[in-house]
């Protein structure tokens, strides 16, 4: 998972420029989760963004950077979780 999680759905990633289903399934999941965590976390070099903005960014990058089906599942699930926590 760790080795392949920087591969991109469109083949523009690294280390092997794999694309689509050639990227291991688990690495596609980790890639989405990692990007989400980076976006919503405060870092010395950047401010955190809201969960809603992070989900919008994942959706924007679905089909290029990320597996679009997995982004849909992740965003739907995270939206449900965020609504439940807010209630």
Return the pLDDT at 26.
97
Please tell me the total count of domains within the chain: 1
Q: Residue 14 falls within a domain, yes or no?
A: no
pLDDT in tens for each of the 87 residues of the chain? Answer: 899 999 999 999 999 999 999 999 999 999 999 999 999 999 999 999 999 999 999 999 999 999 999 999 999 999 887 777 766
Burial (CB count <10 Å: 0-12, 13-18, 19+), residue 55? buried
Return the pLDDT at 82.
73
Q: Residue 3 falls within a domain, yes or no?
A: no
Return the pLDDT at 19.
97
Q: Residue 70 falls within a domain, yes or no?
A: yes
Give the global pTM: 0.91
Return the pLDDT at 13.
96
CA distance 61 to 50: 17
Range of the domain at 29: 20-86
CA separation, residue 1 to residues 19, 34, 84 (Å): 15, 11, 30
Q: Residue 15 falls within a domain, yes or no?
A: no
Supply the DSSP string of 43-60, one letter for each residue: BTTB----HHHHHHHHHH
Q: Residue 13 falls within a domain, yes or no?
A: no
């Amino acid at each position: 998972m760790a080795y392949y999680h920087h591969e991109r759905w469109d083949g523009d990633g690294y280390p092997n420029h794999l694309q689509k289903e050639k990227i291991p399934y688990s690495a596609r999941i980790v890639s989405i989760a990692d990007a989400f965590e980076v976006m919503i976390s405060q870092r010395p070099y950047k401010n955190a963004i809201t969960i809603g903005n992070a989900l919008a960014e994942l959706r924007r990058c679905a089909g290029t950077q990320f597996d679009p089906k997995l982004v849909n599942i992740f965003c739907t699930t995270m939206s449900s979780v965020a609504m439940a926590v807010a209630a």
